[in-house]
């Protein structure tokens, strides 16, 4: 993903194959030998690919042979991205042609376009642009990807082995929090937690952020019981908070969609 194209956008990464593995592990723990759905609600909020091709009204993914179950990895900035997985490229291409997508050449690659949507299809990867965007976001020049950006690398190191991460929009120069991200962790299907990492404009702000987070955790007890707050030092000062999912619920993603007090605390520094 291009670092330049991520400016002003919310980038998300999902390891969909790992989510499916966690769901299958949970079925086994529940003794569901029939292959039933198990407690599929646990990962529903954060386990779905975030591509606009799957959520938008302008493109019926299934009609073109694109089944979300084919996707192993989903990366998007809201209007462009790519999937990794196993795809029936010939079938999908035939359906795109029948659906009046036009075949074009973009930077030496064959792409299919229609109504502001651009697709490039292979057996193990599909790249897409939406709302008039081409594939520039997912074809960055050497040294210009998010993996080359020091702030995104620092957040990646902070988050750890997440199966999903949602990066916030980069802040304006001078803002206390430069960039933040919310991730989802899982040691097993029954040991899941959320993690927030935020890079600040300096060590003092990081310490102030940690104090603010600890205060919210105390005030909201027992909502965030078991939470751990860490101040990040070194070249990328910041703060990290890890929160176990609630024992009675364990629905993944609550720091992202429901229990947002910690997010608000960082936003109000």
Q: Pick from 35, 27, 20: which is nearest to 70 by CA?
A: 20
pLDDT at 205 over 80: yes
In tens, the pLDDT along 80-111 reads: 899 999 999 999 999 999 999 999 999 999 99
Q: Give the model's confidence band at 141: pLDDT under 50 very low, under 70 low, under 90 confident, else very high.
A: confident
- Secondary structure, 3-state, 191-251: EEEEEEEEEECCHHHHHHHHHHHHHHHHHCCCCCCCCEEEEECCCCCEEEEEEECCCCCCC
pLDDT at 149 over 80: yes
208 to 109, 211, 215: CA distances (angstroms): 50, 5, 11
pLDDT at 51 over 80: no
Widest pairwise Cα distance in the chain: 60
Share of the chain above pLDDT 70, in %: 92
Predicted TM-score (pTM) of this structure: 0.90
Q: Pick from 125, 199, 191, 201: which is nearest to 156 by CA?
A: 199
Lowest mean pLDDT among 88-97, 234-243, 251-260: 251-260
The pLDDT assigned to 17 comes to: 95
Q: How many Cβ atoms are within 10 Å of 197's Cβ, its own excluded?
A: 27
């Amino acid at each position: 993903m291009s670092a330049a194209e991520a400016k002003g956008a919310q980038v998300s990464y999902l390891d969909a194959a790992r989510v499916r593995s966690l769901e299958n592990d949970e079925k086994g723990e529940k003794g569901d030998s029939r292959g039933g759905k198990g407690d599929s609600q646990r990962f529903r909020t954060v386990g779905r690919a975030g591509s606009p091709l799957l959520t938008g009204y302008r493109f019926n993914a299934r009609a073109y042979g694109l089944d979300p179950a084919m996707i192993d990895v989903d990366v998007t900035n809201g209007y462009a991205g790519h999937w990794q997985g196993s795809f029936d490229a010939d079938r999908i291409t035939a359906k795109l042609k029948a659906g009046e997508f036009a075949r074009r050449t973009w930077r030496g690659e064959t792409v299919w376009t229609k109504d502001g949507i651009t697709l490039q299809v292979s057996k193990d990867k599909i790249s897409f642009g939406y709302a008039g965007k081409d594939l520039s976001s997912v074809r960055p020049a050497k040294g210009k990807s998010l993996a080359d950006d020091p702030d995104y690398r620092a957040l990646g190191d902070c988050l750890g082995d997440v199966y999903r991460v949602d990066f916030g929009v980069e802040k304006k120069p001078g803002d206390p929090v430069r960039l933040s991200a919310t991730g989802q962790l899982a040691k097993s299907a029954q040991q899941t937690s959320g993690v927030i990492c935020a890079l600040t404009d300096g060590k003092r702000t990081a310490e102030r952020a940690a104090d603010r987070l600890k205060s919210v955790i105390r005030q909201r007890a027992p909502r965030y019981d078991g939470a751990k707050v860490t101040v990040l030092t070194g070249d990328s000062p910041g703060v990290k908070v890890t929160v176990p999912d609630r024992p009675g619920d364990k629905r993944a993603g609550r720091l992202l969609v429901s229990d947002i007090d910690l997010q608000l605390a960082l936003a109000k520094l």
